[in-house]
């Protein structure tokens, strides 16, 4: 059979087979080697003569030779191509090698099948490139999905929760996120045994595993990790730690403590991967991925994908942490400044409210103030410093302090704003701020107002009806433009003056006139005092608000004795010496 098979090949073809760089083999009907060219002998790492008389499975047991395909070629004579993989006896550093082969049947002159000729090319490099390309596409797709699901807020724990949930959806059966404690925290103190303590910021798991994983440490708890366990090793090296299918002894060393092994076995967790959370060169925590039950162990490709997600999320977490720190300082500063506004005269009931924006925005520079003047009047003011953050809150406190001092020196609202504008612009270079000032004289029902770019005040009637009080706005404070106009309003008894910042009414992509119309459409309960009125107004404000909201409401404590007014008179406004009646 061997001589007949070889003689069926023309001599020129035999020369080509010996000299080609492709691996060539001739197999008999029992799939035993009858000829191997030098190129295939090199691929297999076995001399050509040692191939003869042996099958592929006998010679190369680590190759998936797809013999069923070769037998099909022998059976019907139809040529076929097949890709096989594994390892030959040739030295290689590759994890797996791949070959693409084309097999044709060789027939005798009488039509009898004599065997096969196989032409084999190694395609490991192209397969590796294809695999890397597929993995890169997969990671890009994963990161693209994560961009819309992880880091949607500037809240640290919310972001950690989003990351854990995303990992369970795509890469793990359970996931936790642990953060290193703040350096000033008592939890940051070194442990006597040299271990590490981290705060579990988030946890997610498949429904069947959730209760068991929570028993290992729920959100908000601090978890101690023994020296040399997986998480301290990950933090020390800054590299992923993959531990698949560990025995009890190895798992006891890798777990936070040896007592955890029984719990892991009970839950069914068999493999884990820890990746560091590193932002701007420093580590802020770790992410732990777990697989249980029939799920496979983690691969290097899984580690690359997890690192991509952790790296992007770490930057978001670091930004959120910096924001939270600044936000807390700004809120504390602003609340401290607003906690004790000045006291009005006893004949004026004044209430204040402040609501910061939601966690998605920095605190603003909203402020209010009340100053009792020696002549019996009370100065009421509300403003909004341009911008957000600590600087805006600090400038807010400066405007508030300047107003307290200057209100005692200036007799009218327009002159007070002119003085504040000069100080803010030419003396201190403060950020611009809107401001509305009211000199209230409740004994005579007289209110003198001036606006530095602020929204108009509202007047709430005894039945809860709301109307805007027209005040001509001048330029904001701190611009140096001056030009403020004084407006005087005479308000009947039972009216409450409402001052507010733009966070109460303004909405994105909405005209300001429509926003103000929504305010005038409010109907607070009739007969409520300033404090209850502000609570009612805030109840209709969006939560969370897009911007900070500051409110001030003022009403005379009691009607003036002996005062009489025409029944149809609601409001009289004096502007520039001219009296306009509004009903």
* pLDDT score recorded for residue 327: 65
Separation of alpha carbons 443 and 558, rounded Å: 9
- Is the Cβ–Cβ distance between 142 and 163 less than 8 Å? no
- Is the Cβ–Cβ distance between 289 and 271 less than 8 Å? no
- Is the Cβ–Cβ distance between 419 and 439 less than 8 Å? no
- Please state the rounded mean pLDDT for residues 181-203: 79
Reported as a pLDDT band with limits 50, 70 and 90, residue 9 is low
Average pLDDT, the chain: 86
Separation of alpha carbons 430 and 423, rounded Å: 9
- Is the Cβ–Cβ distance between 151 and 189 less than 8 Å? no
Taking each helix axis from N to C end, the angle separating 156-170 and 300-339, rounded to the nearest 10 degrees, works out to: 160
The string of pLDDT tens digits covering residues 274-300 is 999 998 888 999 999 999 999 999 998
Residue found by looking up tokens 């908000």 in the block: 220
* pLDDT score recorded for residue 575: 39
Separation of alpha carbons 378 and 344, rounded Å: 6
Separation of alpha carbons 378 and 515, rounded Å: 29
- Residue ranges of domains in the chain, CATH in brackets: 2-122 (3.30.450.20), 137-326 (3.30.450.40), 340-582 (3.60.40.10)
Neighbours of 495 (CB within 10 A): 21
The string of pLDDT tens digits covering residues 346-383 is 999 999 998 887 644 456 689 999 999 999 999 999 99
Reported as a pLDDT band with limits 50, 70 and 90, residue 508 is confident
Percentage of the chain lying above the pLDDT 70 cut:
87
* pLDDT score recorded for residue 566: 33
**Three-state secondary-structure class, residue 31:** coil
The string of pLDDT tens digits covering residues 482-495 is 899 999 999 999 99
* pLDDT score recorded for residue 404: 93
* pLDDT score recorded for residue 253: 85
Cα distances from 113 to residues 67, 77, 454, in angstroms, run 17, 8, 98
Instruction: Tally DSSP H helices, then E strands, for the chain.
Output: 16, 24
DSSP 127-189: HHHHHHHHHHHHHHHHHHHHHHHS--SS-HHHHHHHHHHHHHHHT-SEEEEEEPPPTTSGGGS
Helix (H) or strand (E) holding 438: strand 433-441
* pLDDT score recorded for residue 55: 93
Does 74 score more than 90 pLDDT? yes
* pLDDT score recorded for residue 487: 96
Q: Regarding predicted confidence, which is higher, 220 or 163? A: 163
Residue 187 token pair: 């939890």
């Amino acid at each position: 059979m061997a001589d007949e098979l070889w003689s069926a090949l023309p001599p020129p073809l035999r020369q080509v087979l010996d000299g080609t760089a492709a691996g060539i083999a001739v197999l008999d009907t029992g799939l035993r080697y009858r000829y191997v060219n030098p190129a295939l002998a090199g691929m297999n790492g076995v001399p050509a003569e040692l191939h003869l008389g042996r099958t592929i499975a006998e010679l190369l047991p680590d190759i998936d030779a797809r013999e069923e395909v070769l037998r099909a070629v022998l059976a019907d004579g139809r040529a076929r191509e097949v890709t096989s993989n594994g390892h030959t006896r040739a030295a290689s550093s590759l994890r797996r090698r791949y070959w693409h082969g084309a097999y044709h049947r060789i027939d005798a002159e009488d039509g009898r099948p004599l065997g096969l000729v196989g032409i084999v090319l190694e395609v490991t490099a192209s397969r590796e490139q294809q695999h890397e390309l597929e993995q890169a596409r997969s990671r890009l797709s994963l990161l693209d999905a994560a961009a819309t699901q992880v880091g949607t807020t500037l809240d640290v724990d919310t972001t950690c929760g989003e990351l854990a949930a995303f990992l369970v959806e795509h890469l793990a059966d359970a996931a936790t996120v642990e953060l290193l404690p703040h350096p000033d925290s008592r939890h940051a103190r070194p442990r006597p045994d040299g271990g590490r303590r981290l705060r579990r910021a988030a946890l997610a798991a498949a429904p069947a595993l959730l209760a068991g994983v929570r028993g290992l440490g729920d959100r908000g708890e601090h978890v101690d990790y023994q020296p040399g366990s997986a998480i301290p090793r990950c933090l020390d090296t800054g590299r992923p730690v993959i531990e698949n299918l560990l025995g009890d002894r190895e798992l006891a060393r890798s777990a936070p403590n040896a007592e955890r092994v029984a719990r892991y076995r009970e839950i069914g967790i068999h493999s884990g991967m820890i990746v560091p959370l590193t932002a701007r060169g420093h580590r802020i925590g770790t992410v732990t991925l777990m697989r249980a039950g029939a799920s496979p162990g983690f691969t290097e490709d899984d580690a690359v994908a997890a690192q991509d997600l952790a790296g992007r999320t770490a930057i978001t977490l670091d930004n959120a942490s910096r924001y939270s720190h600044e936000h807390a300082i700004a809120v504390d500063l602003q609340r401290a400044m607003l906690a004790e506004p000045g006291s009005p005269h006893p004949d004026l009931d004044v209430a204040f409210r402040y609501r910061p924006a939601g966690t998605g925005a920095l605190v603003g520079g909203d402020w209010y103030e009340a100053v009792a003047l020696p002549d019996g009047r009370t100065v009421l003011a509300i403003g909004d410093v341009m911008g957000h953050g600590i600087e805006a809150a600090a400038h807010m406190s400066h405007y508030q302090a300047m107003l307290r001092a200057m209100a005692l020196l200036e007799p009218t609202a327009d002159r007070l704003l002119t003085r504040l504008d000069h100080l803010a612009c030419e003396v201190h270079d403060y950020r611009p701020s809107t401001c509305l000032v009211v000199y209230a004289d409740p004994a005579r029902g007289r209110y003198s107002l001036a606006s530095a770019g602020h929204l108009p005040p509202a007047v709430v009637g005894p039945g809860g009806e709301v109307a805007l009080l027209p005040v001509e706005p001048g330029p904001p404070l701190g611009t140096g433009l001056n030009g403020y106009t004084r407006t005087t309003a005479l308000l009947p008894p039972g009216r409450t003056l409402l001052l507010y910042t733009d966070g109460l009414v303004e909405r994105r992509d909405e005209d300001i006139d429509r926003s103000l119309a929504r305010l005038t459409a409010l109907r607070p309960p009739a007969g409520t005092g300033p404090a209850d009125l502000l609570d009612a107004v805030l109840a209709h404000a969006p939560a969370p608000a897009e911007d900070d909201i500051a409110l001030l409401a003022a009403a005379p404590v009691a009607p003036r004795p002996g005062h009489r007014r025409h029944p149809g008179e609601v409001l009289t406004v004096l502007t520039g010496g001219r009296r306009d009646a509004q009903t």
